[in-house]
Amino acid sequence: MTSVQLMMRYVLTVVGLALAFLLRAEDGHRLWLRMERNAAPAEVRVAGPAKKTVTLAIAREELADFWKGEERLVLSVSDDAPGRDGFRIRRRGQEIQLSSASDIGVLYAAYALLRRQQTGQLLSDGQTVEESPSYDLRILNHWDNPDGTVERGYAGRSIWKWDELPGKLSPLYREYARANASVGINATVLNNVNAKAEMLSGDMLRKVMAIAATLRPYGIRVFLSVNFATPKLLGGLPTADPLDAEVRKWWTGKVEEIYRLIPDFGGFLVKANSEGTPGPQDYGRTHADGANMLADVLAPHGGVVMWRAFVYQPSNSDRACQAYEEFVPLDGCFRDNVIVQVKNGPIDFQPREPFSPLFGAMPHTQIMPEFQITQEYLGQSIHTVFLATMWKDCLDADTYYDGGATVAAVTQHKVSEKSLSAMAGVSNIGDTVNWTGNDMAQANWYAFGRLCWNSHYTARQIAEEFLQQTFTDDERFVAPMCQLLLRSWNVAVDYMMPMGLHHIFAFSHHYGPEPWCNLEGMRPDWLPPYYHQADSAGLGFDRTRSGSDAVSQYHEPLATIYNDVHTCPEEYLLWFHHVPWDFVMSDGLTMWENLCYTYYRGAEEAARFTDLWREMRPYVDAERYAAMLKRFERQSKDAVWWRDACAQYFARFSARPIPADCTKPVHLLQDLMEFHLDIDNYTAADMEKLP
């Protein structure tokens, strides 16, 4: 071999290695669906008459491409198999049977079998697994706008390319559908709850039709958020009064137009008479009047109205009370195809809230929980906060309705006569390459789907599944990172708003602390002092019977437990009580000492997250390791920012020093109070500009 040939072989080898490296370069786009494609297709057969649906073809293709076992796989749609999207997987010798009463159930079974393969939970001979979802509607709410922006979105622009539709379909749509189907999500609201009337124009509906056609084979129905004033804004009517005959006629025609284009259209999500949005109360009507009018025009087509209970007015003495006050008197007044959508807590997706008292207070109305996957109040796409622990805390909470029923039982209507159940999550998805802006934030999308499917899953089980599928099944990685995820919510609460503090964020964008924010002319319930109520006597919002009486919205014994400062759970102490600084808590320390120590503990644990991630370097690809390291480092700095801001600020009211065994603050309070983050021009590259 000549020197030239040797040189060429060397060059080709180097190029080959470089190409191989590039092909292996990891951008996080594959999410938890990281199976390697088979060199030769696995043996998969579709049995029975239903062989030609697109959904069954997808199920067969997924298994042929990614099933590594030696068993033959048989897919069937059968009346004697589980229904309502459920499925059965049965192994008999060298054959595995996947069956359901529907083709989408068979697709869910296919993804379940592949998940078992990825996580090492293979079926033994003779074993049968049956699953059915906890909720009928398992729905992502996109707060995406027609101009491509995303309200409270931290992962780029909207994945819906309205300017390209309907002529051009982004490949993201099919990938999005596949990811959702793999965890059982079966519905999506395409647009922001702060809806634009133009979403119901003919041009936009044809674009929606194109998206719906792409999502349909994966079992995903499309919903739209609607502006209640659309008959005026789009239809030219003088009113949007839900009892007006012309308004009803307009909605009837519009709904018929939608179903001609999208026969399986899911229905409407409505935010009405909240934060200035139009609604039936503008005409002296009730929420039930508005919801029922829309429900009546949707009912002949099988459509559903999801009516949000997120309402509050500046005139109310306690924002936490208003949803209960407005909706409980309407219990039993809503149509059967109306579901009242309730945020997990009574305020607004705060780091920690008690569950909303509406759960368990409306037994004759279909109620659904709404969770926020996107981390508006929890560090956005920077901080790692695994939300399954928060959601389980809510779902497993006992409402004490009729002697005892968890939020999950109430919203799955196991204790009432209603049957249509749903759970919604505000999406954290954008067009950034890894979908969520933070590789670890993908865990919250995954966890939401898994809890919708089975609300009995534990946070640990979901965390382990996610880590094994998304990173590696090496126990040296999975075990410590699982512990990190399971601790992350409590750690974030500790360094942000411990002991029941809430809504003390920077104004508008909600990134970083600003408990001092008190903008002149702004409505009080948008400002932190309204919530923390700090003064020389103490700290916290008095919601006892002698205060706003929010405690009385809960069933006994909770009302009495929350009302007494000595029995109130300490994680909600400042939520329900204005507590003296020297109040002695269960550990013998004063409230002020506990507040300081909790802030410092949260910051210390956030720093340990960074140290732990550095130990994970051998088990993670270089790209995701580096991206996550920056975020963990920023999270640690932010925790110190929160600690220094809040401890020093509240010290002004307590007239007490920060305990001597706490480290000296890194930042001076005056410097922090003068710092203002320009969130509109903020990018990941600007992280170092923060305190």
pLDDT tens digits, residue range 524-559? 999 999 999 999 999 999 999 999 999 999 999 999
Residues with catalytic roles: 275, 348, 376
| Residue 105 DSSP SS3 | helix
User: According to the model, what pLDDT value does residue 587 have?
Assistant: 96
In the block, tokens 């009211």 appear at 653
The span from the CA of 598 to the CA of 593, in Å, is 8
Per-residue pLDDT at 686: 57
132 Cβ contact partners less than 8 Å away, ≥ 6 residues apart? 82, 83, 84, 85, 86
Question: Pick from 515, 510, 526: which is nearest to 382 by CA?
Answer: 510
Tell me the CATH number for domain 137-470: 3.20.20.80
Fold of the domain spanning 493-541+578-689: Alpha-d-glucuronidase, C-terminal Domain (3.90.1330)
Structure confidence at residue 682 (pLDDT):
57
User: Among the residues of 216-327, which ranges form H helices?
Assistant: 230-233, 245-261, 287-298, 322-327
Q: Which residues of 603-636 are buried (b: 16+ CB within 10 A; e: fewer)?
A: bbbbbebbeebeebeebbeeebbebbbebbbbbb
Fold type of domain 44-131: Chitobiase; domain 2 (3.30.379)
Are 262 and 212 spatial neighbours (Cβ–Cβ below 8 Å)?
yes
Rounded CA gap, 134 and 408, in Å? 9
Mean predicted lDDT score pLDDT of the chain? 94
Pairing of strands 538-539, 422-426: unpaired
Q: Which amino acid is at 412?
A: Q
pLDDT confidence of residue 29: 98
Q: What is the pLDDT of residue 50?
A: 65
**Residue ranges of the chain with pLDDT lower than 50?**
3-24
Helix (H, G, I), strand (E, B) or coil at 484: helix
The per-residue pLDDT for 83 is 84
65, 264, 508, 559 from 377: Cα distances, Å: 40, 35, 11, 27
The angle subtended at Cα 459 by Cα 454 and Cα 461, nearest 5°, is: 75
The pLDDT assigned to 21 comes to 39
What residues form DSSP beta bridges with 369?
A: 342
Write down the H helix ranges in 553-621: 558-563, 573-576, 591-615
Q: How far apart are the first and last CA of the chain?
A: 62
Cβ(442)–Cβ(430) under 8 Å? no
Domains 44-131 and 493-541+578-689 fall in the same CATH topology: no
- For residues 637 and 618, give the distance between their C-alpha atoms in angstroms, rounded to a whole number: 24
The reported pTM is 0.95
Exposed/middle/buried for 297, CB within 10 Å: 0-12, 13-18, 19+?
Answer: buried
Domain ranges across the chain: 44-131, 137-470, 493-541+578-689
